[in-house]
Amino acid sequence: QVQLQESGGGSVQAGGSLTLACTASGYTFNAGFMGWLRQAPGKEREGVAGNWPSDVMTQYADSVKGRFTISQDKAKNTLYLQMNSLKPEDTAIYYCATKKAGGRWNWRDYSTYDYFGQGTQVTVSS
């Protein structure tokens, strides 16, 4: 059974940084696609960054490009999201997610993922 556990959320001032971590159990990195999504109050869950198997490619939402970096530590079975120059509009619950290999996957679309973590709150104050 795949389980994902996020950590690292918190409250920061605008311009600050946070690093989110997502530790996976029952799942082997490079076996599928992974991503970070977020959901702000009253809004749909949206893709923030997507990571292809074996790190062949990563993609980012335009709103975070140049500020956020997705990465993996395969030895630790952990996915990271380094967030710099945070803005109040980055405030949301952040989720890591994964999709098994095969089938349609759109890193922006939460409905194409198979598993989600429980989420971690990120609050950015102005």
Query: What are the CA-CA distances from residue 104 to residues 29, 33, 52 (Å)?
Result: 18, 11, 13
Quote the mean pLDDT of the chain.
Answer: 93
CA separation for the pair 17, 41 (Å, rounded): 21
pLDDT at position 30, please?
67
Percentage of the chain beyond pLDDT 90 is 79
Q: Over the stretch 53-91, which tens digit does the pLDDT of each residue have?
A: 877 889 999 999 999 999 998 889 999 999 999 999 999
CA separation for the pair 3, 125 (Å, rounded): 31
CA quadruple 104, 108, 59, 29: dihedral positive or negative? Answer: negative
In this prediction, residue 11 has a pLDDT band, given cuts at 50, 70 and 90, of: very high
pLDDT at position 32, please?
85
Q: Over the stretch 14-35, which tens digit does the pLDDT of each residue have?
A: 999 999 999 999 887 667 899 9
Residue with tokens 């999504």: 37
pLDDT at position 85, please?
98
Query: What are the CA-CA distances from residue 78 to residues 43, 72, 113 (Å)?
Result: 27, 6, 17
